[in-house]
Amino acid sequence: MLKLQVIVASVRQGRVGLPVAQWFVQAAERFGKFDVELVDLKTWNLPLMDEPEHPRLGHYQHQHTKNWSQQIDKADAFVLVMPEYNYSMTAPLKNALDYLAREWQYKPVGFVSYGGISGGTRAVQVAKQVVTTLKMMPIPEAVNVAFVQKYLNSEGKFEATQELEKSAEVMLQELNHWAVHLKPMRA
């Protein structure tokens, strides 16, 4: 089965990102066409990009980079679960993307974004510039959650509406389509 990695882009204490990602992982498992893994940038705790050489060369010096490389290499598709910080993506996400090159390329990426009125969409637009430079294929079908706080219940669990469930399913279908057809490009 194709491997989908759901990357949690927010690492701050009390983040909404984790419950949103946990909901999405369940939706992706129900979808049934991916082997789904949650990748939490808080757990990875990568230092600010500290490799002496350009990632394109793949000459990694540090063990944390070698581990991150192995992690991303095995994926066939990604979903970035990301808030909007000052109209952009989070610094940990940009850092995690910058670390590698070949490991990302020819792989599709979907976005589950959230925030205030914009639902994180401005951050997604910024992220698209970065992921296309890494030769990833960002798909337009997305899950955008405006006013994310209202979907959290008293235990802090994310409770999606039918509309959000539907947009997750549509995104997963499209992501799977791209994942199937991009795999041969990496052979």
Ligand X SMILES: Cc1cc2nc3c(=O)[nH]c(=O)nc-3n(C[C@H](O)[C@H](O)[C@H](O)COP(=O)(O)O)c2cc1C
Q: Tell me which residues touch ligand X (CB under 6 A).
A: 10, 12, 15-17, 83-87, 115-116, 118, 148
Q: Which residue is nearest to ligand X (CB)?
A: 115
- Asked if 47 and 78 count as a contact pair (C-beta separation under 8 A), the reply is no
Minimum Å distance from CB 150 to ligand X? 12
- Asked if 143 and 167 count as a contact pair (C-beta separation under 8 A), the reply is yes
Minimum Å distance from CB 67 to ligand X? 24
Q: Indicate the residue among 12 and 66 with the shorter CB distance to ligand X.
A: 12
Q: Indicate the residue among 116 and 140 with the shorter CB distance to ligand X.
A: 116
Minimum Å distance from CB 34 to ligand X? 23
Q: Indicate the residue among 57 and 126 with the shorter CB distance to ligand X.
A: 126
Quote the tokens at residue 18.
């984790």
Q: Indicate the residue among 61 and 161 with the shorter CB distance to ligand X.
A: 161
Minimum Å distance from CB 68 to ligand X? 21
